[in-house]
Chains A and B, each alone.
Chain A
C-alpha cells in the first residue's frame, strides 16, 4: 500500500481559536465537525510535595463531561490524554513542578476523544511549554460491510462494527496511542492504521496554519 493512495481524504472541517481563556497559561477551543472541546493548560506550577517527581514534571489532566457528573469512563479519557501528553512534553525541563490540563466537553457528535487530544495539543502549543513533538489524533470506523470510514459522523459510529482511534507524533509518524472498540480482523486494523497515519498529515498542516495565523496577530 502506498501512502499516496490515501491523500484524497477529507477530514471533518476544523475550526480553532487559541487564547480563548484569558487567565490560563494556554488555552484552545477546537471544533471538529460538530464536536467541540475546550482545553486549558496551566503550568509549570508549584504542587504538593507528595506528588512531586524528582525527574520530571507531574502532569495532571482533568476532564469534565457535558453532563457534569463524573463517571468511570471520564477517568479513562483522562488517563489516555495524560499518557499521550507525557510522551510529547519535555517534562525533564520542569522537575518538581506540576502541569495541569483541564478539558471541558462542549458538544459530542462522535470522535470526542480524538478532538480532545488535538485540542490539548493546541493548548500546549499555545502555553509555550517545551515539547518533543506535537501529536495528532485521527479516528475511523469500520462499517458492517468492511469499509473504512475516516472521521465518522455520529450516525456512522452508532451503526459501525468497530471504531479505531490513533494518535501519531509529528516526527516519525509513529503510533503514540491507540484505542479501539468492537471486533475487527487483523487486516482491517493494519489498513486503518495506515490510512489514519496518512490522514494525520492533514491535522499537522492544520496546526501549522493555526499557529501561523496567530503568529501574525502577535507579531
Chain B
C-alpha cells in the first residue's frame, strides 16, 4: 500500500481477521453445498428465480439536500446512494467544443462495504470498471443534445455490497436523473443474474456472485450477466457478461432479464409518481403560505395608507 500523505495511514502489513477464521478457507464444493437448502431455497429464503425487489418504502429520491437530484436504493443488504448535480460548463482551452453534453460517472465503494476485506480509499480497477459501465449505460438514455458543451456529474456510492451492485447503481442513477429533471428518452432499469453450474440464479447475493466466478469447469456454464433496458423503446443500453456462457444460455438469460427489468419498471414508476405527488403538495403549501403573507402585507399597507391620509 503506497503511503498516502493526505490521510491517516494504518500499519503497512495489516490483514483482515476473517482470514484466520474457519470459514475463510472453504473450497468450492463446500460452498456449493451450502448454496441451496433441501427445499431448493436460497440462504435468504428466496427461490432461484425470485428477485429482491426495490422496496418502495425504502428506496426513495431526494435525500441529499445539497444535490439537484438524488436517490437511495436498497436491495435487502445492498445499499446504494446516488446524487446528480447541475450541468456545468466544460472549461479549459484544450477541450474542443462538444456538441453533445458529457456525462461523468463515479462509482465508489465504502471502505467497510465488502464482507471479505477492507477496501482501500484510493479508487481501484473494480470501481473504475463500474464507473465506465455506468457511463455507457446512461449515455444512451440521457438527451445529451439538450446541453451541448456541458458536463453532468453523477456520483454513486455503495454503502454495502451484497451482490447486484451495477444494476443497483444504474437503477439509482436512473431515479436520481429523473429527480433532477434531466431530459431522458426513457426510464432505465437494470437487473442481473448469476449462472452457476448451468443453474440460473436471479438477482444474486455477494456469496452467490463469488461462487459463480470461482467455478472452473469449462464444460458447464458459469458467470455473471447484467443488463440495462429501456422499457418503452425495448432497447438495451448496456450488457455486461463475465465468465463463460454458451450462446443458447445467453439468449435464455436475456429473456429472463427482460422480464425482470419489466417487473422493476413498475416499482420505479411508482417511486417516481409518489415523488411528483409529494413535490406538488409541497409546492401547494408554499403557494398558500405566500398568499397568506401577501394578504398580511396588503392589510399593513392599508393601515399605513390610512395613517398617512389621517395626517
User: What A residues does B17 contact at CB under 8 A?
Assistant: none
B5 close to chain A: CB less than 8 A: yes
B6 close to chain A: CB less than 8 A: yes
Other A-B contacts than A69-B5, A72-B8, 6 sampled, CB-CB below 8 A, are A70-B5, A71-B5, A72-B5, A72-B6, A72-B7, A75-B6
Residue in chain B with minimal CB distance to A71: B5
Taking the closest CB of chain A, its distance from the CB of B157, in whole angstroms, is 22
Most buried by B among A69, A70, A71, A75: A71
User: What B residues does A71 contact at CB under 8 A?
Assistant: 5
Q: Which of A69-90 contact B (CB under 8 A)?
A: 69-72, 75
Residue in chain A with minimal CB distance to B8: A72
Q: How large is the interface on B (under 10, 10 to 19, 20 to 34, 35 or more residues)?
A: under 10
Taking the closest CB of chain A, its distance from the CB of B105, in whole angstroms, is 23
Closest 4 CB pairs of A and B: A70-B5, A71-B5, A72-B8, A69-B5
Query: Chain A interface (Cβ within 8 Å of chain B)?
Result: 69-72, 75
* Interface SS majority for chain A: loop
Taking the closest CB of chain A, its distance from the CB of B93, in whole angstroms, is 13
Q: Please count the residue pairs between chain A and chain B whose beta carbons lie under 8 angstroms apart in the complex.
A: 8
* Separation of A70 and B5 alpha carbons in the complex (Å): 6
* Interface SS majority for chain B: loop
User: What A residues does B6 contact at CB under 8 A?
Assistant: 72, 75
Q: Which of B1-15 contact A (CB under 8 A)?
A: 5-8
Taking the closest CB of chain B, its distance from the CB of A171, in whole angstroms, is 38
* Separation of A75 and B7 alpha carbons in the complex (Å): 11
The interface bits of chain B over 72-113 (1 if a CB of A lies within 8 angstroms of the residue's CB, else 0) are: 000000000000000000000000000000000000000000
* Separation of A75 and B8 alpha carbons in the complex (Å): 12
* Separation of A56 and B6 alpha carbons in the complex (Å): 28
User: What B residues does A75 contact at CB under 8 A?
Assistant: 6
* Separation of A70 and B8 alpha carbons in the complex (Å): 12
User: What A residues does B5 contact at CB under 8 A?
Assistant: 69-72
7 A-B interface contacts by CB (under 8 A): A70-B5, A71-B5, A72-B5, A72-B6, A72-B7, A72-B8, A75-B6
Residue in chain B with minimal CB distance to A74: B5
User: What B residues does A72 contact at CB under 8 A?
Assistant: 5-8
Taking the closest CB of chain B, its distance from the CB of A72, in whole angstroms, is 6
Taking the closest CB of chain A, its distance from the CB of B228, in whole angstroms, is 36
* Separation of A70 and B6 alpha carbons in the complex (Å): 8
Taking the closest CB of chain B, its distance from the CB of A215, in whole angstroms, is 42
* Separation of A69 and B5 alpha carbons in the complex (Å): 8
* Separation of A69 and B4 alpha carbons in the complex (Å): 11
Taking the closest CB of chain A, its distance from the CB of B9, in whole angstroms, is 9
The interface bits of chain B over 1-42 (1 if a CB of A lies within 8 angstroms of the residue's CB, else 0) are: 000011110000000000000000000000000000000000
Residue in chain B with minimal CB distance to A49: B91
Q: Which of B187-212 contact A (CB under 8 A)?
A: none
Residue in chain A with minimal CB distance to B7: A72
Taking the closest CB of chain B, its distance from the CB of A51, in whole angstroms, is 14
Residue in chain B with minimal CB distance to A50: B91
Residue in chain B with minimal CB distance to A75: B6
The interface bits of chain B over 60-74 (1 if a CB of A lies within 8 angstroms of the residue's CB, else 0) are: 000000000000000
* Separation of A172 and B298 alpha carbons in the complex (Å): 47
User: What B residues does A70 contact at CB under 8 A?
Assistant: 5
* Separation of A71 and B8 alpha carbons in the complex (Å): 8
* Separation of A7 and B5 alpha carbons in the complex (Å): 43
User: What A residues does B7 contact at CB under 8 A?
Assistant: 72
User: What A residues does B8 contact at CB under 8 A?
Assistant: 72
